Chains A and B, each alone.
Chain A
């Protein structure tokens, strides 16, 4: 199946710093990628839809100025958590939509903010 890679797989940062997470579709082009947040033992919550070449669409309650999304190419979307605080600690997962419409998920990135 198609491969979606996330980097880094885990990151620890100090409160107030910004962290960038990358999502790459390795063997297909994805005009649309999605970013999710998952708290321990909970389900995936869609944060935003990332569209190549245009602004991301954020779900209700998600701060667009805090979670910056950039989809500059057909194989890369980035999520930047700005001025991170301990409550932003979570497991962030991306998915990419293939040309057949299927979703392929990345391995996830665990963010810990101290």
Chain B
């Protein structure tokens, strides 16, 4: 089955700086890579996703890059704000529904 590793487990950045979270996956059949933001006591919310036919995708301050050859993908958040503080999960799978989640990164943006 798929195995997704995520680093770092915790990340503290100053407000306005960039944050980068990296994930690797094991199954070459995976072609869907979503990123979720989970606030304390709430369910995950999809913030951005990328499919394997695309190398990079950007949505305002958030961008995701994918290297299928190396089986790794990354989340980039620029101009971080305190409200970006949350736990972020990457995931990988063959489609929308059957994804395996990473172990999560707790991001703290310091005002």
Contact = CB atoms under 8 A, between A and B. Distances in A.
Interface residues of B, dominant DSSP? loop
A107 B41 CA distance: 8
A108 B96 contact: no
Given A34-B97, A101-B96, A102-B96, A42 B103 contact: yes
Interface residues of A, dominant DSSP? strand
Contacts of A45: 101
Interface residues of B, number: 18
B96 to A, nearest CB: 4
A107 B43 contact: yes
Contacts of B95: 101
Nearest to B89: A43
B97 A43 contact: no
B41 A105 contact: no
Contact of A110 (B36, B41, B97, B102): B41
B52 to A, nearest CB: 15
Interface of A: 4, 6, 32, 34, 41-45, 49, 93, 95, 97, 101-108, 110
Interface of B: 34, 36, 41-46, 89, 95-97, 99, 101-104, 106
25 contacts: A6-B43, A32-B97, A34-B97, A42-B103, A42-B104, A43-B101, A43-B103, A44-B44, A44-B101, A45-B101, A49-B97, A93-B44, A95-B43, A97-B96, A97-B97, A101-B96, A102-B96, A103-B34, A103-B46, A103-B96, A103-B97, A103-B99, A105-B46, A106-B43, A108-B43
